[in-house]
Amino acid sequence: MNIFNTKKFPFYKQVDQYDCGPTCLKIVSKYFGRNFSTEHLRDICKITPDGITIKSLMAGAEKIGWNCNSKMNIQLSCNILFI
């Protein structure tokens, strides 16, 4: 019996060096019971050959139901909205 009721985070490997943001969204979304393909997350985050910005990562997260805000442009805070 697990007295701490801990749940392991799933593991997904980045497809390439630019996929860190979408891959993180995929891991956290899967942890909370939502499944998205990496390609879909790349599309909604508007990934570019230069990578991804925090702004586009937050916009992508909001498109899949997260409520995101940034504080002082260095902290990222996202809350999952359960529908």
Ranges assigned E (strand) in the chain: 66-71, 75-80
Whether 10 contacts 29, CB under 8 Å: no
Residue 64: pLDDT above 90? yes
Domains of the chain, start order: 19-75 (3.90.70.10)
Question: Considering the entire predicted model, what is its pTM?
Answer: 0.73
Residue 77: pLDDT above 70? no
Quick one: pLDDT at residue 45? 92
| Average pLDDT value for the chain | 81
3 state DSSP class of 19: coil
CA distance 49 to 31: 28
Q: Which is more confidently placed, 41 or 3?
A: 41
Q: Which is more confidently placed, 68 or 80?
A: 68
The CA-CA-CA angle for residues 46, 51, 54, to 5°, reads: 70
